Structure 1
Amino acid sequence: MTLDILKPKIKTIVTQDILSLDERLLKICELLEANVAYYNWVGFYFKNGDKNELKLGPYVGEPTDHTIIPFGKGICGQVAISNENFVVPDVAAQDNYIACSITVKAEIVIPIFVNGENIGQIDIDSNTPDPFTEADERFLEFVCKEVAQLIQ
């Protein structure tokens, strides 16, 4: 399955006004995890009020102890500061990596911008070494833009 096939499904989820924001975000996580074989943990982190930390939002996958992540810590915390995509082909090679599970081999984090401000991110862990391509980055940027429209 190509990632582009999922785009209309993302748009459908986003437009389901009868669902809460968190319900729609969870549906997006479920869609991605179920349809992309190497997306093994899919979740959202959002800036926690005025604090310089991220708070875990809806996700699917193994439970995590990392419900709060300080800015600068781990891949997610680094994206909160850099405002740039971060693709990690091999988490073992990262000095500033927060291990969620011993099975995770790679991670991709894409920021979500609302009115030019980084308000959160989508975080995907993979149990497959180096699975993420430029197509994943572009697709997840699309997902983040759709989510940003929900939050505005």
Structure 2
Amino acid sequence: MIFEELKPQVEVIALSTNKTVNEKLLNICELLEKHINYYNWVGFYFRNGKKEELILGPYVGAPTDHTVIPFGKGICGQVAVSNQNFVVPDVTAQDNYIACSITVKAEIVIPIFVNGKNIGQIDIDSSTPDPFTEADERFLEFVCEQAATFL
């Protein structure tokens, strides 16, 4: 499976000593978007200091106007509050969804924990309806654990 093949590459990025944090995050985004055909937008959001809002970090995909997301708003904002994975098979069925693009059909958001605190998340949009499985969740949890090692 593609996830097992990508894990060592994610580890290499996480362990690299000649890259900045943002370069590592961008490299992870690029790796996932390139190799998983239904990952059409891959990005990171992080808590903005002590404010109850998320700010956009490195990402790959279409530009977005959603550079700041209040806690509780949209899928990302809900994950910031719940500290739980959120898989959305059909974004049109979500009342609290922030539309980034009309092509987005599904979304998955996985929180990143450092020392037990939710400091951010990886956000993936797909133009494929209902593409995400439990395997995606487990893989993205691994990605977030790796990212946590250098954040």
**TM norm structure 2:** 0.99
Deviation, 1:2, is: 1.9
CA distance in 1, matches of 2:3, 2:61: 20
Counterpart Cα distance in 1 of 2:2 and 2:9: 13
Write the mapping of 1:121-140 to structure 2, written as runs, cut at 5 A.
121-140=121-140
- Distance in 2 between the 1:149 and 1:11 partners? 10
Inter-partner Cα distance in structure 1 for 2:89 and 2:65: 23
Q: Deviations over 1:63-114 (max 9, x none)?
A: 0000000000000000000000000000000000000000000000000000
Shift of 1:20: 0.2
TM-score using structure 1 length: 0.98
C-alpha separation in 2, matches of 1:109 and 1:125: 9
The CA deviation at 1:54 is 0.2
Report the counterpart of residue 55 of structure 1 in structure 2. Answer: 55
Which residue identity lines up with residue 41 of structure 1 in the other structure?
W
Q: Distance in 2 between matches of 1:41 and 1:17?
A: 26
> How many residue pairs were aligned?
151
State the partner residue of 1:116: 116
2:149 is aligned with 1:149: yes
- Secondary structure (helix, strand or coil) at the match of 1:87 reads strand
Aligned-partner Cα distance in 1 for 2:36–2:3: 8
C-alpha separation between the residues in 2 aligned to 1:142 and 1:16? 17
| Moved >3 Å (runs of 4+) | none
Are 1:23 and 2:28 an aligned pair? no
Give distance in 2, aligned partners of 1:50 and 1:115. Answer: 16
Q: Structure 1, unaligned stretches of length 5 or more?
A: none
Indicate whether 1:41 and 2:68 are aligned: no
Percent pairwise identity = 74
What's 1:72 paired with? 72
Q: CA RMSD in A?
A: 0.5
Name the SS for the 1:123 alignment partner: strand
Measure, in 1, the Cα distance between the counterparts of 2:110 and 2:16. Answer: 23
| Superposition deviation, residue 56 in structure 1 | 0.2
- Amino acid in the other structure paired with 2:95: D
In 1, Cα distance between equivalents of 2:97 and 2:142: 25
